[in-house]
């Protein structure tokens, strides 16, 4: 659609998705901060199994955030290319 304005509905949908992704990222960052605090509080007393579970949860959350960001950025790039 070169030379034509982007569809208003599509612009609103992209903005809504952006807001949702930002809120998701903020909630996951809060979760990661909680995990860090748990580790700090546990200190050297933390059981090996508990530490491993906490680290696994942290890594899974970061991987999930990366996946969401990658998919959103790809969709945004596709939108920009089309519009």
User: Are 5 and 78 within 8 A, CB to CB?
Assistant: no
Query: pLDDT per position in the chain (83 positions), as tens?
Result: 455 666 788 889 999 999 999 999 999 999 999 999 999 999 999 999 999 999 999 999 999 999 999 999 999 999 888 87
> Can you give the pTM of this predicted structure?
0.81
User: Are 60 and 32 within 8 A, CB to CB?
Assistant: no
In the numeric block, which tokens belong to residue 44? 């050297």
Longest dimension (CA), the chain: 64
| Of 21, 1, 17, nearest in space to 65 by CA | 21
CA distances from 59 to 8, 47, 78 (A): 38, 18, 29
């Amino acid at each position: 659609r070169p030379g034509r304005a982007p569809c208003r509905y599509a612009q609103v949908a992209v903005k809504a998705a952006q807001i949702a992704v930002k809120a998701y990222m903020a909630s996951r960052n809060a979760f990661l901060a909680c995990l860090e605090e748990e580790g700090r509080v546990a200190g050297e007393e933390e059981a090996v199994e508990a530490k491993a579970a906490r680290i696994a949860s942290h890594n899974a959350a970061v991987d999930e955030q990366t996946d969401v960001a990658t998919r959103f950025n790809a969709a945004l790039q596709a939108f920009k290319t089309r519009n």
